[in-house]
């Protein structure tokens, strides 16, 4: 599932193509996307101009000259393509074309992505502060965790607490911070919170830089060897050489070092 780094990079791609451009056509090719962006909404976008593309947690917000916002959430497998000449991939679900002839194509093999048009910018959208927002401080994060008895790994996946973190980078951040993913969120020590916040940001920024570095190359930037613990069950910890353990939390796999994170 795309997490903050992947969505941030996708927003960068969309911004490069779409910012300042006027929409000339919107084609919604799959019925799943038509449920969230019906034909009348898609048609109303024609002639509107995109002022900017911003990321909020795991979603993207296209700010329009009309004052409206187009929200895009990739869900499990969505991404943007910049289609060239020739046939488009069968997994493309929507195409937005602009006045300079360029296009953005929503590619999503599982067709779970959601596009929604809002009459005005979203205010309180129910999610917490962005994980990379410099205004977020450890004391605020601690306040958001203080009443949560669920495991800290599960709490980090709750977008109402902090937005943008998914299963992969929650595992990686907790490893960096040397925090046991099983302890209740409310029991994370106040003295540990700054290290946790630093670990979250370092993990997300490293993933974003890696994706930028390998964009357009033949190397698979998403190769699991880049992870410290995620998907490395039974392999040695890169700090202490203890074998990585996998458990299930909230129906998701959690990977951690039973020695470093004890």
Whether 58 is catalytic: yes
Contact (CB, 8 A) for 107 and 91: yes
Q: Spot the catalytic one: 2, 5, 151, 181.
A: 2
Q: How far, in Å, CA of 130 to CA of 194, rounded?
A: 16
Reduce the DSSP state of residue 43 to 3 states and report it: helix
Catalytic one of 5, 8, 58, 181: 58
Confirm whether 252 is a catalytic residue. Answer: yes
What's the token pair of residue 33?
A: 């996307």
Phi-psi region of 253 (alpha: psi -120 to 50; beta: other; left: phi over 0): beta
Which residue among the candidates 3, 8, 69, 172 is catalytic per the annotation?
3
What are the Cα distances from residue 122, in Å, to 15, 166, 183, 235? 19, 22, 34, 44
Q: Of the residues 187, 252, 258, 259, which is catalytic?
A: 252
Sign of CA dihedral 73, 78, 82, 88: negative
CA distances from 251 to 135, 149, 169, 181, 254 (A): 32, 17, 16, 14, 9
Is there a catalytic annotation at residue 5? no
Q: Could you confirm whether 190 is annotated as catalytic?
A: no
Catalytic residue ranges:
2-3, 58, 252
């Amino acid at each position: 599932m795309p997490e903050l780094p992947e969505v941030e990079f996708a927003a960068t791609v969309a911004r490069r193509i779409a910012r300042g451009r006027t929409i000339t056509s919107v084609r919604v090719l799959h019925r799943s996307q038509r449920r969230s962006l019906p034909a009348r909404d898609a048609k109303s976008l024609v002639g509107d101009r995109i002022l900017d593309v911003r990321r909020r947690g795991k979603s993207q917000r296209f700010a329009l000259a009309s004052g409206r916002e187009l929200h895009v959430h990739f869900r499990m497998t969505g991404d943007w393509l910049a289609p060239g000449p020739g046939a488009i991939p069968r997994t493309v679900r929507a195409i937005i074309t602009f006045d300079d002839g360029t296009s953005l194509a929503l590619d999503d093999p599982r067709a779970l992505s959601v596009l929604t048009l809002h009459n005005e910018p979203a205010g309180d959208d129910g999610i917490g502060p962005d994980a990379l927002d410099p205004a977020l401080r450890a004391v605020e994060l601690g306040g958001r965790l203080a009443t949560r008895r669920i495991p800290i790994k599960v709490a980090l996946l709750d977008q109402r607490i902090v937005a943008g973190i998914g299963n992969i980078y929650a595992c990686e951040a907790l490893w960096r911070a040397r925090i046991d993913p099983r302890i209740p969120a409310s029991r994370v020590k106040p003295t540990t919170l700054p290290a946790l916040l630093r670990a979250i940001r370092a993990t997300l920024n490293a993933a974003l830089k890696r994706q930028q570095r390998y964009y357009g190359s033949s190397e698979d930037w998403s190769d699991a060897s880049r992870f410290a613990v995620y998907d490395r069950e039974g392999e040695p910890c890169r700090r202490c050489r203890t074998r990585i353990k996998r458990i299930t939390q909230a129906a998701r796999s959690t990977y951690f070092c039973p020695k470093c994170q004890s």
